[in-house]
Chains A and B, each alone.
Chain A
C-alpha cells in the first residue's frame, strides 16, 4: 500500500537523521555545519507534517513535539535541532490562529497588559479542524526553509559596514559564517586576519587555509598568545554554536578567553550568528570529551565555553545587528513561551 510505504520511508529518513546526529557529536567536531542540520531538521519536519496522520493542529503539535524530543535526545549539544522544532511549533500556532480569523494573536506572550484585559483564561486546545491548515503550514515551513538557505548570505552582506581597510581582525577556530563574512568584505577591502588555532582539534588551521585561498592576509597563533596579540587587534569577530536567551553564548572552548582579553583591551567583540542558533535556554550543561592520552592521566577537555552577555558588543544576524540586551525580544518573536520546554 502506498500509504504504508511512505510511512516506512519517513521513519527510515528519521532514523538515518538520528544516527547521523549521534555520530556527529564525537571526534573532531560535527560532520555537518549547524546550518545544514537546521535545514535537514526543517525538511524532515515538513515531511512529517505532509505524511503523518493528523486531524487537528493539536495532534500535529503533539507529533512534532514527540519527534523533536527524540531528535534532541540523540544529540543534546546540537541545539539547532530543538530550535527548529520550536520554530515549526510557532508556525503551527500562528497558522491555526489565522485560520480561526482571530487578530489578537499578534502578541502571544504573557504580559501585564494581557493579564488585565483578557476576557477569560485562554484554554486554547487546538482541537478545531481546518481544511487548509495543512497546506498553510507546509507553505510557511517552505518560507522558513528559504530563510534558512539565505542566512549566510544575509550576514555576509553586512560585512562592508563593519570591516574597514587596513584593520586587524581576530577570530577563533572555524566558523562558516565568519568565513563567508570575511570573504565578502575581502572583495572590496584589504585587511589582516589573525586566527587562534583553538586546540586540541585545531580547526583554526582549516579556517586560515580557506581565508588565504581568498587572498586574505592570515596569521595563525597559538591559544596562549591571544592576550599578547590582542593589543594590536582592532576588532574580534567570532561565530558561536548557540546564542542563549540572556544574550550569552555557548561557543567553542577558548572563546571566553578571547572575550575577556578583548574586554581588557576595550576591543569590540562582534558575534556573527544566524537566527536559528538562538535558543530559549539560559542554563547550559557543560559538554566534556575525555581523551586518555597517557595511561594514568585523565584529560578533561570541555568542548564549549559560556561567554556572558556583558562581554559582547554586537550580534550580527540575518535580520541585522542587535545589542545583546535585545536578544530576549528577538526570542519572543521566534518562539512561543509554552514551547520552551519540549
Chain B
C-alpha cells in the first residue's frame, strides 16, 4: 500500500458505495449493552459510570427544561470521543476529519438552541446580543459584532473539531514519515524524531478527548443561554 498523505482523509468508498455511514457505526461495537444482570462485568460497569459522569457534568448547570437534551448530548459526547480515539489507530479513517460531518453535527444542534431561545424567551435571547454596561455610542457596533459572533458559532464548532483532528493526524503522518526517512541515513536523529512522535501521540490522545468534550460543552453552553 503506497499511501500519500491525503489517503487517510478521503472518505472511504467501495465500488462507488460510500462507506462513511458504516464507519460511523463502528464505535458502537465497543459499547456492550448492559443486559439483564444486576452486577455486570467491568466494562459495562465502567461504561455506566462514565455515562453517569458525563450526564451529570453536562446537565447540572441546565434547568429542568434543558434536561430533555441529556440523551442527545451524552450520546454525542460518547460518539465523538470514540470516533476520535479510534482514529488514532493506524490505517483507520476518522469521520470527524470531514468538515461535512462536523458541520452536519454542529449546525442543526446550534440552530435548535437558537430557535428554542427565540421561541420561548425571544427578548432574553436578543438581549444576549448586547452585553451589560456598554457605553451608549458603542451599541450599534457591538450589536453587529455580537450578531456576527452568534451566527459564526456553528462554523466555529465544526471547523474547530475538523481542524484539530486533521492537523493532529497530518502531523503524525509527517513526523512518522520523517522518522522512516531518517532511519536509513541518520538513525540517531530518527530515534529523536520517534520520541517526538511518541509525545505527539500522547498529545493527540488528549486532544481527541478534549475536542469531543469541548464540542459538547459549547453546545450545552449555547443551550444554557437560550433555554
- A and B from one assembly? no
| Interface set of B (CB-CB < 8 Å, partner A) | none
| Interface set of A (CB-CB < 8 Å, partner B) | none
